Chains A and B, each alone.
Chain A
């Protein structure tokens, strides 16, 4: 049994945050976070810039001390038993934090030695990780000269060298091309299957869909926590998608419509949140055409995390 399977068997959460608070001077970055993360799950921390995702991860990684409250990782307190947490956690900061002037292999070996990965295991693990990250042919390239996607994969490899139970990843795919993003998530899925707990913060809503559970952070507060399905179900209503021309006039026209709960713009598409889509669809089409808007591709769609999130935030702001 791996460590996290043991944990699951013991039936306790692997990360326990209790009223976890962190302030920087007068700014409160994280406000009384209460969170339980179960062993072996992929948990997504979702939220806009400045929501507190990085702070939350840093507190869990015991790289920062909370102002109030506490967090326990693998049973160890992050302040009093920080040294005991280290072997269990792999942390990947948002910014590239490996040595740009050392090459791929040197970086991996450095972290292997720092974590005292013994010689027998070391060679095997390094080879495994290089293959994992598709970096086997790039061992002597300087880390600073790798592409964005490869840098992230190398950083991930370095956090995995000591086989942690918990992975804390801060926006691991931000700034990475879509192909590399998918490869990265393939790696995460493999890790998930082998039982590693993964906490990943992301501004990408489609990645949120891939998680077992998501936590929506907004201005330091956890406003929603649950499976993606349950979060989406929180939206009361259905979404109509259309491509209007011209866009501005369509938005104006819809703003005056009753029964329209919300209008969101996605490039040249409009997502309109209504209480009952099939009832409202003809009504809206008529209204728009009356305003001189050409309505194309009118259809009902399933609300996605994006809509759910924006809708929840709007509700909060009112």
Chain B
């Protein structure tokens, strides 16, 4: 009995070593995942974009701003004139935190207790929590330093905090909206990948090649059922998110729906491209998994995309998931309309056309 077991195990090893893609996947996959995840969780809460509305413009206010900028967690990226401008930054997800320093801050400090306002983007509760903590800590530390410098009682700076879009800091909002993206993404990919490789494995592709069918016709013909299935799934997931989990829907549904369709088409295009270049379904599955790994890393779910080095940042723009997650969050949680998210919308439209074209071009019209 043991001989046979040994024999079978040995045969399995031989087969695994003949499958180079599987080997790459087994070795590279976990390494990549671990490294990316480890880096990302740390990266997610450092150098968060902060904008400042300095209505005092005194030495004190500049010192407070310095203190905030000096923290590892926060980076001051802009100085704005009014809180209204700051709203736009938050809505476009260009800042995680807004610091509002009122006029007469320095004067108030001498007299009584001054008030400073912090507004955080609550869509990602981890980030916002971290940002607020860092900011409050920095302000308090500043106060203590000043007190010790002047060797007298220093009035505590009253910090009023406001968490936008997610007042209860419900972590669910962020994760569920991201999950919405992931689920659709998976469905689109899986359906698309199975499509062409199955035909190649069965040999039916050879028969199709002798018919007047054009490559574009074949790709679109495969994309349509995948599109319908993924769309139905999207509506189902959306219903569950909004009514089951009470995720808010503050923006226009039409925009969300339209952009979801473009996203689905882009992912289907990606899946069909992989399918067109793979010889077997197993190969296609593995390639898609590797692609998905990279895609999720670049998606902004674990690590904000803006934090990446320029080269990687440019590459990340090619992956649709990133744009789509931004769209979902902006539309559902921030109530953003097309005006606020048009860069992501344009990217999704361009990517959907691009990915389908890639699929058509990578499908070879001959058995070469």
| Residues of A that sit less than 8 Å from B by CB | 58, 61-65, 82-83, 86-87, 89-91, 93, 95-100, 111, 114-116, 158
Contact = CB atoms under 8 A, between A and B. Distances in A.
Contacts of A65: 366, 368
Contact of B211 (A95, A96, A99, A111): A111
B202 A100 contact: yes
A95 B203 contact: yes
B35 interface: no
B244 interface: no
A86 B212 contact: yes
Interface in B65-118: none
Given A65-B366, A86-B211, 9 more contacts: A65-B368, A83-B212, A91-B210, A93-B203, A95-B206, A97-B204, A99-B204, A111-B211, A114-B212
Contacts of B368: 64-65
Contacts, number: 48
Given A97-B204, A100-B202, A86 B366 contact: no
Interface of B: 202-204, 206-213, 365-368
A95 B200 CA distance: 12
Given A93-B207, A99-B204, A64 B212 contact: no
Given A64-B367, A65-B366, A98 B211 contact: no
Contacts of B208: 114
A111 B212 CA distance: 10
A63 B203 contact: no
B212 A63 contact: no
20 contacts: A58-B367, A61-B210, A62-B210, A63-B209, A63-B210, A63-B366, A63-B367, A86-B210, A86-B212, A87-B212, A89-B210, A93-B206, A95-B203, A96-B203, A97-B207, A100-B202, A114-B208, A114-B211, A114-B213, A158-B207
The 6 A-B pairs of least Cβ separation, nearest first, read A97-B207, A97-B203, A91-B210, A95-B203, A114-B211, A86-B212
A58 B203 CA distance: 14
B8 to A, nearest CB: 29
A242 to B, nearest CB: 45
Contacts of A114: 208, 211-213
A98 B366 contact: no
Contacts of A115: 211-212
Given A63-B366, A64-B367, A97 B212 contact: no
Nearest to B207: A97
B194 to A, nearest CB: 13
A232 B212 CA distance: 41
A21 B210 CA distance: 20
Contacts of B365: 82
Contacts of A158: 207
Nearest to A92: B207
Nearest to A102: B204
A96 to B, nearest CB: 7
Contacts of A82: 365
A100 to B, nearest CB: 7
Given A64-B367, A65-B366, A98 B212 contact: no
Contacts of B367: 58, 63-64
A86 B207 CA distance: 11
Contact of B207 (A58, A89, A98): A98
Nearest to A65: B366
B211 A63 contact: no
A105 B367 CA distance: 27
A93 B213 CA distance: 17
A97 B211 contact: no
A89 B207 CA distance: 12
Nearest to B217: A114
B215 to A, nearest CB: 12
A62 B212 CA distance: 12
A202 B208 CA distance: 23
